[in-house]
Structure 1
Amino acid sequence: MDLPFEVLVYLMKYLPKSDRKAASEICRSWYMAANDYCFLKNKVVIFYKSVLNDEETSPSNIFENSSTIFFNYLFSEVEIPNKINAFWDKLGENIRCLTLRNCDINEKVFVYILQRCCNLHSLNIECCKELFMSGRLLEGKTEGLLAESLNNLKALSLSGNQYLTDALFNRFIVASPALIELNLSGCSLQFHLGLVKKFYPPGSDVFQNPSESVLTFYFVLQLIISRAEHMKKLFFSNTLIDGAALKSLSEVENLRLESLEVNSCDQLTNTGILALTINQTTLKELDIGLCTRVTDQSLVYICKNLVNLEYFNIQRCRAVTDLGIIELNKLKKLKSLNISQCELITKDGLEKGICAVENNILEELDVHSLNIDESAVIMISEKFPNLRSLDVSYCFNAVTDTSIQVIFKNQIYLQTLKMSHCDKVSDAGLTGMGKVEETGDDGPIMSNYDESGNSQKIHLGSRAEEEIVRDARRKRDVLLMCAKLTTDTFTGFSLARIKGLKELDISSCNRITDVSLTYAFNFKELTNLNLSRCQQITQEGIGYLVKNCPSIEYLNLIDCYNLKDEAVAEIVKGLKRLQQLELRGCNQVTDKTLEAVLTYCKKLKYLDVQGCRNISPELACPIGSLPTLHTVLMSKPGPYISDGVKNRSPAPTFLPALMRKLRLH
């Protein structure tokens, strides 16, 4: 019995993106349901390192003849020739969002595209320097057909274009009367008053003769003033914007910003932040991360005046201390907070700030690289029960078997968990082979497993050798406990308790072994897994991982040197959705690995086998023939050695067409 189309669409809404994509391959009715408008409006068609031409096998031709209409397209690192003009003729009027990122495209083709894409809502031209190099782009084109094409444009991004000038920028703005979002991040914005006086003498109309030599903040500011009532989102990251410039921007009459991003702006000072908080109280998103001159004073202003903030980033604002962090308890609507790499923040600041009371609103928290202890992580896990994303990477002393047990107990809704380089975490913590007990002010403790052991023998080896012996004993004991206990008799909290986990990063947690992969990994929705430098895992653990986590798409196994060809064979056979596989430094894998990839990987896009010295460069040609594969990273072929003598004959010649997919390092 076939379900009605409306019922199928309703059911598809409950599936994660990757599951919905897999379901669409079952039959035509499921394909149509998975591509209903409610899903299609958020889907993006990506052409990455593709060869676009007028041949039938060209990716552009495939979408041109598709019965499904897509609205968002991203072209990254591709050449866009006039040979695919038919693509724009047929699909242009349906495109709502168009992104050109680091593309090779000439001015004539670009104008043609804009004329055909007459219903654009978002246009992103990022790092396409050749397009702006002549300075004549859109000259004389901003009226007539082109003006009609950009009439509904809401968002414009020209980030990373070093050749952008006032004149070029003005042509885009004139043709986009409905603009509410502007991104000039990474552009060469000039703030020097001498340049302003040179190109715009007092009394002159800046719009009549905009500079064709430089991009000045003064000119950008005048355009923002003229559109102040409509502008809601501005992005000036990686520019030289300073306190005076931000003050001028904040005081623009009728400007009511909702989002501002000034990440990595070293010249930004407290003066600009103060003006911003006084005049732009409607802000919901603020990113001032990596702004080295931001201090506690800025946080006092922000937390006092910007009470509507929902997203706040102060990553690596190194002058911020506990005095500023304490003020964060005034932001009652925060949903996402990044305070990572602020070296002066301690547990005391967190306790009096964001952890002062239980918070059921915060969903994303990034505290990686903070100088905190174990009790701070426990406090965080107890105060934020509704977290969806948590990053505690590089908190070396804070993330232990004890503290992650409390995370597994409280954060059951987590979808992203990152604890990279937390080398105190072991199988005992991940598998739940410890019980959380309340012991007064000391907090939870681990029981049922005694890591110290009872041996009174004096170890005569080195400290490294002693650690190896201890790790081996730990693995043996935890394995025995896991084998004896059932799910009903577990006394601790296993990682497997977080059922909805989609992204997990435990890279460089070298105490983790096959025991954790066998007993703690059971995630049906896990798509992104980083196990790099977990050097104790072997084929045995990989077998259980593949069986219990079938949805993995991105798998990082860099420097897992105990993995052999058999382990990789398990991966490529069992993970049907695998798109990215990183095996750099796995020096025990051989040509059999590439043969397995070639045979079983039907969706692989990215493969890294650098440093795998037993893999022959000759296999680069057949592996490059996979239709979905766009990037292969391999080590350069070195001199061959036979009978103790180096053979310096030239390396095998690869086919030019396939070399586009290969990067030799």
Structure 2
Amino acid sequence: MELPFEVLIYLFKYLPKPDRKSASETCRSWYLAANAHCFLKNKVVVLYKSILSDEESSPLKIFENSPIIYSNYYFNEVEISNKLNEFWDRAGENIKCLTFKNCDICEKVFVYILQKCPTLESLNIESCKDLFMSGRLLEGRSDGLLVNNLDNLRSLSLSGNQYLTDALFSRFVKAAPVLQHLNFSGCSLQFHLGLVKKFYPSCTNIFENPSESVLTFYFVLQFIISHANYIKSLQFSNTLIDGAALKTLSEVENLKLNTLEVHFCDQLTNTGILALTTHQASLKELDIGLCSRVTDQSLVHICNNLVNLEYFNMQRCRAVTDLGIVELYKLKKLKSLNISQCELITNNGLEKGICAEENSTLEDLDLNSLNLDQTGVIMISEKLPNLRSLDLSYCVHAVTDTSIQVIFKNQILLHTLRISHCDEVSDAGLTGMGKLQTEVDDDAPIMSNYDEAQTHNKIHLGSRAEEEIVRDAKRKRDVMRMCEKLSMDSYTGYSLARLKGLRVLDISGCNRITDVSLTYAFTFKELVNLNLSKCQQITHEGIGHLVRNCPSIEYFNLTDCFNLKDDAVKEIVRGLRRLQQLELRGCNQLTDKTLEAVRSHCKGLKFLDVQGCRYISPELVCAIGSLPTLHTVLMSKPGPYITDGVKNRSPAPTFLPALMRKLRLH
């Protein structure tokens, strides 16, 4: 008996996206349920490095003939030609969001696309230099009539286009009278007043005669002034916007922004930030990351005035100290905070700031590369119980077996955890096997510390590196014995396995992690993204257990895990049916058997990196490039190969030209 359609939709709402996608392949009724409108409106069709044509084998034909109507399309590094006109004729009226990134598209085809998409709400044209190079796009009355139907356009992104001018921008906005979101990130936006005087003499109507040579902040500002009641979101990241320009923008009458991104704007000063906090108190999202001139003064005003802030990014604002960070406790609605790479922030600032009291609102916290110790991590874990995403990468002295145990105890809602290059973490911390149950108080957090006093009393005649190898081997053996002796329910340590909803895990560079952790601490049914790069002690034994207990992995990074052999890759490609990206760079024991296994079992692989795998032949790499789903293969440059310790200087093999578009040589 089949379940009713409404019941299927209700059940699918509880599934994560990868599971819902797999469920849709079961039967037609499940396929239709997984593509109901409540799910479909957020789905994006991504066409990356695909060959698009009017032939039946073209990927677009699949969506053109599909009974499911898709509204969002993302074209990345593809050629858009007039051969696709039939697709726009049939699907254009249903498209709501359209993105072109690094695409080869001519002006005539682009205008035709706009004509066929009358309900378009979001248009993103990123780094398509050929489209803007001539400066003639949308020029003339006839072309203007073609795009006058963009009345529904709410969001326009023209980021990364160095040839954008005032005239080109003017032609776009004339066709879209109710724009709310504008993105100029990475554009050559000019702020010098001398250019304004040169191209716009006094008493000149700038909207009638916009410059065809430069893109000026002055022209953009005049547009914002004339549409202040509509504009809600602005992005000027990676431009030369300075304090004076931001001050002028913030003071625009009737402008009430919800989002402002000025990421990597090195000219931005406190003057602009102070004006922003005074006049734009409605802001909910603010990104001032990599703005090196921002200081504590700006942060104090942000915390005092922008009380509605929910997302705040101040990554690598290196002038910010604890004096500014302590003010963060005033942002009661803050859900996402990025204070990574701010080298002057310490435990004291966090203790008086976000950890001043228990905070159940904050969900996303990035502390990458901060100078913290383990007491700071323990404090964060105890004060922020509802974290969903936590990044502690490069907090070398803060993430230890002791502090990681407290995270596993308190942050059971985490779906993203990054502790990259925290090399003090070992198997003891991840498995929770530091001490036996009889050795600790039941109410106290379990700290996975080893009593290594007995080894300290011995005189070691080898080098310090050799002594560390011996100590690691003993640690691995002891933890393995504990794991074999005790079941998961019979010890009081806190294992990584407690984070049942984990989807993204990055423990790259944690070289004390071994097969013991992969065997006893990795049981995640929803884990999609796993980074084990530079975990050089793992072998095919641990990989086998990992694959069986984490079947949903799609993105797997094993870079520089040089103890892995072909058997490990065979386990991966046989067990991970959803695998899309596999990085094996530097795994120099792999041979052609690895590629044969990939070719036999990976039906959905899109990205493969085998750089530095010296025993893998370039001929076979070229052959595997013919897999239909594979769009990128990274391999080392062909050159002298080593055979039996002797360099073979025979000519490099001949590559098939049709496959070279998929191969990147490094």
Q: Per the shorter chain, which TM-score range?
A: over 0.9
Partner of 1:470: 471
Contact 1:434 1:493 in 2 (8 A): no
Q: Quickly say closer, same or farther: Cα 1:491–1:439, change in 2 above 3 A.
A: closer
**AA at the equivalent of 1:23:** A
CA offset at residue 67 of structure 1?
1.4
1:271 and 1:483, CA in 2 relative to 1: closer, same or farther beyond 3 A?
Answer: same
- Paired with 1:125 and 1:650, the residues of 2 have a C-alpha distance of 43
Count of aligned residue pairs for this structure pair: 662
Give the match for residue 565 of structure 1.
566
Residue 364 in 1 paired to residue 367 in 2?
Answer: no
Q: Given that residues 432 and 446 in structure 2 are in contact (C-alpha distance below 8 angstroms), is that contact kept between their aligned partners in structure 1?
A: no
Q: How does 1:27-66 map to 2 (within 5 A)?
A: 27-66=27-66
Q: Within 1, Cα distance between the matches of 2:230 and 2:104? A: 33
SS of aligned partner of 2:579: coil
Aligned to 2:164: 164
Aligned partners of 1:420 and 1:506 also within 8 Å: yes
Q: Which sections of structure 1, spanning at least 5 residues, go unmatched?
A: none
In the superposition, relative to structure 1, how do residues 507 and 643 fare at CA in structure 2: closer, same or farther (>3 Å)? Answer: closer
The answer to whether the 8 A contact 1:243-1:268 is kept is yes
Cα distance in 1 for partners of 2:30, 2:645 equals 61
Change (3 A) 1:268 1:309: same
Partner SS state of residue 637, structure 1 = coil
Q: What letter matches 1:516 in structure 2? A: S
Which residue is equivalent to 2:623?
Answer: 622
Structure 1 residue 658: Cα displacement: 1.1
C-alpha deviations, 1:276-306, integer Å up to 9, x for none?
0000000000000000000000001100000
Do the aligned partners of residues 84 and 356 (structure 1) sit closer, same or farther apart at CA in structure 2, a change above 3 Å counting?
same
Following superposition, the deviation at residue 180 of structure 1 comes to 0.3
Q: Give the equivalent residue in structure 1 for 2:337.
A: 337
Query: Matches of 2:294 and 2:542 in 1, distance apart?
Result: 46
Partner Cα separation in structure 2 for residue 42 and residue 314 of structure 1: 28
Whether contact under 8 Å (2:114, 2:146) holds in the other structure is no
Q: Please name the residue that 1:114 is paired with.
A: 114
Query: Is 1:2 matched with 2:2?
Result: yes
Q: Which residue of 2 aligns with 1:479?
A: 480
Q: Contact between 1:433 and 1:448, CA under 8 Å: does it hold in 2?
A: no
The match for 1:15 is: 15
What's the counterpart of residue 247 of structure 1?
247
* Closer, same or farther: CA 232–304 of 1 in aligned 2, 3 Å: same
Is the aligned partner of 1:288 residue 2:288?
yes
> Normalised by the size of structure 1, how large is the TM-score?
0.98
CA distance in 2, matches of 1:358, 1:195: 52
The residue that corresponds to 2:415 in the other structure is 415
**Contact 2:405–2:448 (Cα < 8 Å) also in 1:** no
| 1:441-590 equivalent positions in 2, closer than 5 A | 446=447, 449-454=450-455, 456-590=457-591
Unaligned runs of 5+ in 2: none
In the other structure, the counterpart of 2:184 is: 184
Cα distance change, pair 243–530 in 1 and its aligned pair in 2 (3 A)? same
**Which of 448-457 and 462-471 deviates more?**
448-457
> How many Å apart are 1:400 and its aligned residue?
0.1
The answer to whether the 8 A contact 1:436-1:445 is kept is no
Residue of structure 2 equivalent to 1:263: 263
Q: Is the 8 A contact 1:436 1:447 kept in 2?
A: no
CA contact (8 A) 2:402 2:448 kept: no
Matched position secondary structure for 2:616: coil
Task: Supply the distance in 1 between the matched residues of 2:244 and 2:346 (Cα, whole angstroms).
Answer: 32
1:207-246 matches, within 5 Å, as 207-246=207-246
CA distance in 1, matches of 2:440, 2:372: 21
The structural deviation recorded for 1:201 is 1.1
Q: CA deviation at 1:446?
A: 2.6
Distance in structure 2 (CA, Å) of the matches to 1:425 and 1:172: 53
Q: CA RMSD in A?
A: 1.6
Structure 1 counterpart SS, 2:608: strand
CA gap of 1:86–1:599, structure 2 versus 1, over 3 A, is same
- Asked if structure 2 preserves the Cα contact closer than 8 Å seen for 1:322 and 1:348, the reply is yes
2:139 matched to which residue of 1? 139
Task: Read off the aligned partner of 1:507 and give its amino acid letter.
Answer: S
> 1:614 is aligned with what amino acid?
Y
Deviation string for 1:13-65 (max 9, x for gaps)? 11000000000000000000000011110000000000011111111122111
Report the equivalent of 1:305.
Answer: 305
Q: Distance in 2 between matches of 1:452 and 1:555?
A: 38
The 2-side partners of 1:462 and 1:646 are apart by 34
Cα drift, residue 451 of structure 1: 4.3
**Alpha-carbon distance, 1:487 to partner:** 1.6
Could you tell me whether the CA contact under 8 Å between 2:307 and 2:332 is conserved in 1? yes
Larger displacement relative to structure 2 (271-280 or 486-495): 486-495
Task: Give the Cα separation in 2 of the matches to 1:607 and 1:514.
Answer: 24
Question: Contact 1:425/1:512 (CA < 8 Å) preserved in 2?
Answer: yes
- Label 1:527 to 1:645 Cα distance change in 2 as closer, same or farther (>3 A): closer
Secondary structure, aligned partner of 2:273: helix
Whether the aligned pair in 2 keeps the contact of 1:435 and 1:493 (CA below 8 Å) is no
SS of the counterpart of 2:75?
Answer: strand
Deviation by residue 1:532-572 (Cα, 9 ceiling, x = unmatched): 00000000000000000000000000000000000000000
Letter aligned with residue 100 of structure 2: L
**How many Å separate the matches in 2 of 1:448 and 1:237?**
45
Give me the TM-score of the superposition, normalised by structure 2. 0.97
What does residue 635 of structure 1 align with?
Answer: 636
* Identity %, equivalent residues: 77
Show the counterpart of 2:322: 322
* Superposed displacement of residue 456, structure 1: 2.5
Does the aligned pair in 1 maintain the 2:375–2:403 contact within 8 Å?
A: yes
Q: Give the Å deviation of 1:637.
A: 1.5
Looking at structure 2, the residues matched to 520 and 284 of structure 1 have their Cα atoms a distance apart, in angstroms, of 38
Question: Is the CA contact (8 Å cut-off) linking 2:446 and 2:493 kept in structure 1?
Answer: no
1:406/1:436 contact within 8 Å kept: no
- How far apart, in 2, do the equivalents of 1:564 and 1:447 lie? 31
Instruction: Determine helix, strand or coil for the equivalent of 2:234.
Output: strand
Separation in 1, partners of 2:262, 2:283: 13
Further displaced range: 481-490 or 647-656:
647-656
Deviations 1:612-665 (A, max 9, x none): 000000102320111110000011111245688755443222221111111111
SS of corresponding position for 1:589: coil
Per the alignment, residue 348 of structure 2 pairs with: 348
Alpha-carbon contact 1:433-1:449 (below 8 Å) kept: no
Distance 2:641 2:249 in 1: 62
SS of structure 1 residue aligned to 2:156: strand
Distance in 2 separating the partners of 1:317 and 1:505 = 24
Partner SS for 1:229: coil
Q: Counterpart of 2:615 in 1: which secondary structure? A: coil
Residue 660 of structure 1 aligns to a residue in which SS?
helix
Given that residues 396 and 424 in structure 1 are in contact (C-alpha distance below 8 angstroms), is that contact kept between their aligned partners in structure 2? yes
